[in-house]
Structure 1
Amino acid sequence: MRKLIYGMNLTLDGYIAAAGDDIGWSAPSDELFQWWYEHERASGLTLYGRKLWETMSSHWPTGDQQPGATAAEIAFARLWRDMPEVVFSSTIDKVDWNTRLVTGDAVAEITRLKAEDGAPMTIGGATLAAAAMRAGLIDEYVLVTAPVLVGGGTPFFTALDGWVNLNLVETRTFPGGVLLTRYETR
């Protein structure tokens, strides 16, 4: 059975995007960017909701060809293009690169994918992750918390029907006071 990991950058007050989908507060240091690269490289499949997919696919397909792209950005762009991905959306009808579109029941498809053998899967996007959380499908939470308060926007966590007990498995501090915490579900 595959492990499902939900991880994103978030603000200290718990938002993955400020009002208006503003993520200007989330620019990673080189060290954090490298950590996210290694995290994604260890994954076998990435699951995206529509909004995060549109954000990622608007930059990373040609991220290695941008003027001034760093070695890490070039490596990540190549990894991103080659990584198998599944996009869950009922409002788009086409995806590119190494990607498959699912327009039906996200929870049923994620459950099916988890039952397969293989490397861990990562999931991103607040709405998609919320559905997986409510269904009890998340095995690990990765919170990369920036020392900023934005007062509103898109929350990392959703309302749940019950408690989810977690075990802390890692903490790490990055430049700028950014704190990584990883938790596994019990």
Structure 2
Amino acid sequence: MRKLIYGMNLSLDGYIAAPGDDIGWSVPSGELFQFWSDQLQATELTLYGRKLWQTMSSYWPTGDQQPDATPAEIEFARRWRDMSKVVFSSTIDEVDWNTRLVTGDAVAEITRLKAEDGGPMDIGGATLAGAAMRAGLIDEYVLATAPVLVGGGTPFFTALDSWVNLNLVETRTFPCGVTLARYETRR
């Protein structure tokens, strides 16, 4: 059975994007970027909601070809292109770069993917992750909390029907002031 991990950069007040989908405040430092790149390398499959997919696919397919790309960005872009991805959307018609599109029941498909043998899966996008949260499918939460208050926007967590008990498994502070916390779901 695969592990499902939900992790993103978020503001101290709990948002992954400020109003207007502004993520300018969340540009990671070199050390934090390397952490996310290492996470990507350890991941076998990434699950995306439409909005996050459109953000990622607008840059990373050619991110390694940008004139100012750092070695870490070049490595991330190549990993991102090569890895298997699934996009959940009923509004787009096609995807590329080692990606499969699912237009049906996201929770049913995520449940099916979790039941397979294989390495860890990451899930990204507030709406998609929220559906997985409510269905009890998330095994680990990774919160990279930036020292900024954005006052609103897209929350990292969704409203839940019941409590989810967690165990803290790691904390870390990056030189840029971002604190990382990893939690596993208590089953």
TM over 0.5: yes
Query: Which residue does 1:133 correspond to in 2?
Result: 133
Q: Following the alignment from structure 1 to structure 2, what is the Cα–Cα distance between the partners of residues 175 and 26?
A: 14
Q: Following the alignment from structure 1 to structure 2, what is the Cα–Cα distance between the partners of residues 97 and 29?
A: 26
Count of residues in Structure 1 that have an aligned counterpart in Structure 2: 186
1:97 aligns with 2:97: yes
Shift of 1:176: 1.9
Q: Which runs of 5+ in 2 are unaligned?
A: none
Query: Which residue does 2:66 correspond to in 1?
Result: 66
Q: Following the alignment from structure 1 to structure 2, what is the Cα–Cα distance between the partners of residues 31 and 143?
A: 15
Query: Which residue does 1:170 correspond to in 2?
Result: 170
Q: Following the alignment from structure 2 to structure 1, what is the Cα–Cα distance between the partners of residues 38 and 31?
A: 11
For residues 51-109 of structure 1, what are the alpha-carbon distances to aligned partners after superposition, in whole Å with 9 as ceiling and x for unaligned? 00000000000000001100000000000000100000000000011000000000000
Q: Following the alignment from structure 1 to structure 2, what is the Cα–Cα distance between the partners of residues 42 and 21?
A: 28
Query: Which residue does 2:87 correspond to in 1?
Result: 87
Code of the residue aligned with 1:59 in structure 2: it is: Y
Q: Which runs of 5+ in 1 are unaligned?
A: none
Percent of residue pairs bearing the same amino acid type: 84
State the SS of the aligned residue for 1:2: coil
Code of the residue aligned with 2:4 in structure 1: it is: L
Q: Following the alignment from structure 2 to structure 1, what is the Cα–Cα distance between the partners of residues 40 and 61?
A: 16
Shift of 1:175: 1.8
Code of the residue aligned with 2:41 in structure 1: it is: R
Query: Which residue does 1:75 correspond to in 2?
Result: 75
Tell me which stretches of 4 or more aligned residues in structure 1 moved more than 3 Å.
Answer: none
Pairwise CA RMSD: 0.4
For residues 96-129 of structure 1, what are the alpha-carbon distances to aligned partners after superposition, in whole Å with 9 as ceiling and x for unaligned? 1100000000000000000000000000000000
Q: Following the alignment from structure 1 to structure 2, what is the Cα–Cα distance between the partners of residues 153 and 33?
A: 23
